[in-house]
Chain A
Amino acid sequence: MADKQIEVVQGTLDMLILKTLGLGPMHGLAISRRIEQVTRGAFQVKPGSLFPALHRMEEEGWVVSTWGESENRRKAKYYRLTRGGERQLDAKTKQWGRITLAISRALETD
C-alpha cells in the first residue's frame, strides 16, 4: 500500500481540490478524505499542502470560505467553489487532458 501512495503531481492538487468542491461545500478534512477515497488511497493530501493550496485559491478568488458546523457538531471552515473556480477547473481539466494524451501517445510510440 505504502509504495503505491504517490506525492500529488505538482500543479494537479489545485485541480483535484476544485473537482472535489464541485460536489458541494466541504471542510479541509473532508476534501482530503474525499480525494483519498476517489483515488483509492493513491493520493494522500497532507495538511501541509492542503491548507496552503486552499488559502492560495481563496486569494485567487476560485473558492470562498465560511464558518459552519461539521457533521460531529464541530466548528469548521467550509470551502465553496465560485464561478471563477469553475472556469479554472474547466481550463485545468482540458489542459490536463491534452497533457495526458500527448504523454501516452509519446509512450506508446516505439
Chain B
Amino acid sequence: MRLFSRLRSLVRNLFHRAHVEKELDEEVRSYIEMLTDEKVRQGARLEEAHRAAQIELGGIDQVKEKVRTVRSGAGLEELRQDLLYAQHSLVRNAAFAIAAILSLSIGIGSSAVLFCIVKDIFIRPLPFSRPERLIRLTGFYPKGAVAALQRQSTTMDVAAFSTDAEFNLNLKGRREHLQGSAVSSNLFSLLGTQAAVGRTFYPEEDLPGRNHVVVLSHTLWAAGFGANPSVIGTWVPIGGQNRQVIGVMPKNFAFPSSAALLWIPLQMDLSNLEDYWGTGFMPVVARLRSNVSLEQAQEEIRQLIAHVIAEFPYPMARNWNADATLIPLRQDLVGNLRSRSQILLWAVGIVMLVACVNVTSLSLSRASARRKEICIRASLGATPQRIARQILSECLFLAFAGGGLGLLLVFKVIAMLQSALPRDTPRLLEVGIDWPVGLFVLALTVLSGLVSGVIPAISFASLDLGELFKTYGSTLTWRIGNRFRNWLIAGEVTLAFILVISAGLLIRSLWRLTLVDPGFGSEHILTVQVFRDPSSCLNRSACIADYNQLSSPGLPSEWLLHLH
C-alpha cells in the first residue's frame, strides 16, 4: 500500500512535473493570501500585511525548493538537472571539455585494453577440460624418451608436441607455407578436446605406415577448404606427402599456439634409431592422473628420467634433464608475458592517474571563472551539498563521454594488437571484448569521475558563502584548493616527465639498434628462405647440388622469387 502510493508519486513527479509544480505554486500562493487576510483582519494595511506574510513564509522559492527535495525521485530529478546543467556549462567551455574527455578516454581505454589482456590471457582458464590438471615438463625429449615416459609413468599421462613443424601446402592452386605441429597421438585426448568435425588421432596412428593422417585447425579449414565438412576423408598433399584429413578442431583450440594451423601424428619409428633417439627433441605436456598431486608426480619424474637415460642407444650424460620440473601448463604458456604486462600495468595505471589529475586540475582552474555562478546558485537556495554534487556531476559527465570514447579505443587497439603481435603470442586470439570488459569500463568511468571530481567539489562546498560574496568580483583565493592544486600540478608534471623520458629512451634504443654497423655492406644483398618438402630431398647429392645452384653468382632474380 505504502509502496504503491510512493510509486504513484514517483511516476507523477517524474512524468507530470509541470502539473506538480503548478499545484505547489498555487498552494504556496494561497497560503500567502490567507496569511495576508489574517493580518488584515488583525488591522494591518493590505500592502504591509502582504509584505509581512511573505517575510513570515521565508521566500517562496526557498519553500518550494525544500518541498522538491522531499519528493520521491528528487534525487533522479536533481541528477537530471545536474547533468543537463553540466552539459550546458561544458558546451560553453568546449576546449576544457575536449581536453578532459580526451585525457580520460586515453586513460580508460588503455586500462580496459590491459584488463582484456590480463583477463583473457592470465585469468581465464585454458580452454581444455580440467586445465588445472595439465602440466608441462621442463626440458626437451626425443621420441624414444617420450615413449618411455608414457610407458613407465604411474602418476600422469604424457604427450609430446613439436613447435617447429612447417609444411608446404597447395591451397586453391596457391602454394602456401604453414606452421603446424607434429604431436603424440594421445595429445588431443590428453588435453580433453574433441574434434569439431570428424575425429582426432587413434592411438596407433603414430606408427609408421599409419601416420598419413592430418587434423586441420578451424582457421585453415575455413580459409583453405571453404569450411566444407566433406573435406573429411579426402587426401591432401602436405609437405610432399599425401595425408588423409580426419578431423577439424574447434575454433578456440590453439595448441601450442594459434600459429599452429594443422596437426600430424609424430612418427614413432623404432627402427630409425637416429630419428627415434637422436633428433627432434620436443617439449612434453602431461595430465596428472586422478588423486595424484603435483608433488607426487614431481617426485616420480626425476627417477623416471634416470631410467630413461639408461635406455638411450648411445651414452647419454648422467645429469641430462636432472633438473626436470613439472609446472602448471598455464604458467608455462603465459609465464614470460607476466612480467612484461606487470610493467604495462604500472604504466597504464600512471596514465589513468594523470588523466584524473588532469581533469581535477582543469576543474579547479575553472573555479575562479565560476565564482559568480556559484554565488548566484547559493543565494537561490542551493545547499553546499547541492553545489558539490553539481561539480561532481560535471566531472561524471566528462567521465562518461571519456569512457564511451575509451571503449571505442579498446575495440581499435585490440584489433590492432591482434594483427601486429606475433601469432604465436600465447592465447592471443582468446582476447576479446565481452560484458566483463563493459562492466570494467563502466566502473572505471564512474570511479574516474568521482576521483577527479571530489576535490573540486569539496573545495567549492567548503567555501564560506559570506566570504564568497565579500570577494565577489576579485580574484578568489582557495584555502585548501590552492595548496592542493600546486601539489597536483607538480605531481602531474613529474609523471608526464617520467613517461615522456621512458618512451623517449625506448625509441632511442630502437633507433640506435637500426644504426648498428653489422660489419658488412648490407646493400644489394637479399636473404631468401627456402622451404622444401622433405620428400624432395631424399637423394642427398641431388639435394646438395640444388642448394649449390642457389648460391651460384649471376642467378636470375625471378628464379629466386619462384622459390620464395
Residue B1 is within 8 A (CB to CB) of chain A in the complex: yes
Q: Given the interface contacts A29-B31, A61-B2, A74-B30, does A55 sit within 8 Å of B63 by beta carbon?
A: no
B37 to chain A: which residues have CB within 8 Å? 72, 74
Give Cα distance in the complex from A60 to B69, angstroms.
Answer: 15
What residues make up the interface of B, taking CB atoms closer than 8 Å to A?
Answer: 1-2, 4-6, 9, 23-24, 26-28, 30-31, 33-35, 37-38, 56-58, 62-63, 66-67, 69-72
Contact B27 A28 (CB under 8 A): yes
A70 CB to closest chain B CB (Å) equals 6
What are 16 of the A-B contact pairs (CB < 8 Å)?
A27-B30, A27-B31, A29-B38, A46-B56, A48-B57, A48-B62, A48-B66, A49-B66, A52-B69, A59-B70, A61-B4, A61-B5, A70-B30, A70-B34, A74-B33, A75-B26
B23 to chain A: which residues have CB within 8 Å? 77
B19 CB to closest chain A CB (Å) equals 13
**A 35-76 contacts with B by CB, 8 A:** 46-49, 51-53, 55-56, 58-61, 70, 72, 74-76
Q: Given the interface contacts A56-B70, A61-B2, A61-B5, does A48 sit within 8 Å of B58 by beta carbon?
A: yes
Contact B58 A55 (CB under 8 A): no
Give Cα distance in the complex from A47 to B63, angstroms.
Answer: 7
Measured CB to CB, the nearest residue on chain A to B35 is A29
Residue A97 is within 8 A (CB to CB) of chain B in the complex: no
A72 to chain B: which residues have CB within 8 Å? 34, 37
A79 CB to closest chain B CB (Å) equals 10
Give Cα distance in the complex from A47 to B67, angstroms.
Answer: 10
DSSP class of A's interface residues: helix, strand, loop or mixed? helix
Which of B4, B33, B57, B72 lies in contact with A47, CB distance below 8 A? B57
Which of A47, A53, A58, A60 lies in contact with B28, CB distance below 8 A? A47
For A19-33 the 0/1 string (1 means CB < 8 A from B) is 000000001110000
Give Cα distance in the complex from A56 to B70, angstroms.
Answer: 6
Contact B34 A76 (CB under 8 A): yes
Measured CB to CB, the nearest residue on chain A to B7 is A59
B64 CB to closest chain A CB (Å) equals 8
Which of A29, A52, A75 lies in contact with B70, CB distance below 8 A? A52
A109 CB to closest chain B CB (Å) equals 39
B57 to chain A: which residues have CB within 8 Å? 47-48
Contact B34 A29 (CB under 8 A): yes
A74 to chain B: which residues have CB within 8 Å? 30, 33-34, 37
Given contacts A51-B67, A56-B70, A58-B9, 16 further A-B contacts (CB under 8 A): A27-B30, A27-B34, A29-B31, A29-B34, A46-B58, A48-B62, A48-B66, A51-B28, A51-B66, A55-B70, A55-B71, A59-B70, A61-B5, A72-B37, A74-B30, A76-B30
Give Cα distance in the complex from A53 to B67, angstroms.
Answer: 8
A59 to chain B: which residues have CB within 8 Å? 5-6, 9, 70-72
A46 to chain B: which residues have CB within 8 Å? 56, 58
Give Cα distance in the complex from A46 to B66, angstroms.
Answer: 12
A47 to chain B: which residues have CB within 8 Å? 28, 31, 56-58, 63
Which of A55, A56, A61, A75 lies in contact with B30, CB distance below 8 A? A75
Measured CB to CB, the nearest residue on chain A to B30 is A76
Closest 6 CB pairs of A and B: A61-B5, A59-B9, A56-B70, A52-B70, A77-B27, A29-B34
Measured CB to CB, the nearest residue on chain A to B2 is A61
Contact A52 B66 (CB under 8 A): yes
B451 CB to closest chain A CB (Å) equals 34
A77 to chain B: which residues have CB within 8 Å? 23, 26-27, 30
Measured CB to CB, the nearest residue on chain A to B33 is A74
A76 to chain B: which residues have CB within 8 Å? 30-31, 34
Give Cα distance in the complex from A36 to B58, angstroms.
Answer: 18
A75 to chain B: which residues have CB within 8 Å? 26, 30
Give Cα distance in the complex from A102 to B278, angstroms.
Answer: 95
Contact A48 B63 (CB under 8 A): yes
Give Cα distance in the complex from A70 to B28, angstroms.
Answer: 14
Give Cα distance in the complex from A76 to B34, angstroms.
Answer: 9
Contact A60 B2 (CB under 8 A): yes
Give Cα distance in the complex from A45 to B1, angstroms.
Answer: 29
Give Cα distance in the complex from A51 to B31, angstroms.
Answer: 10
Contact B67 A55 (CB under 8 A): yes
Give Cα distance in the complex from A74 to B28, angstroms.
Answer: 13
A51 to chain B: which residues have CB within 8 Å? 27-28, 63, 66-67
A55 to chain B: which residues have CB within 8 Å? 24, 67, 70-71
Give Cα distance in the complex from A60 to B66, angstroms.
Answer: 17
B44 CB to closest chain A CB (Å) equals 15
B1 to chain A: which residues have CB within 8 Å? 61, 84
A78 CB to closest chain B CB (Å) equals 10
A53 to chain B: which residues have CB within 8 Å? 70
B8 CB to closest chain A CB (Å) equals 9
Contact B63 A60 (CB under 8 A): no
Give Cα distance in the complex from A48 to B63, angstroms.
Answer: 5
Give Cα distance in the complex from A74 to B56, angstroms.
Answer: 19
B66 to chain A: which residues have CB within 8 Å? 48-49, 51-52
B62 to chain A: which residues have CB within 8 Å? 48
Measured CB to CB, the nearest residue on chain A to B58 is A48
A49 to chain B: which residues have CB within 8 Å? 66
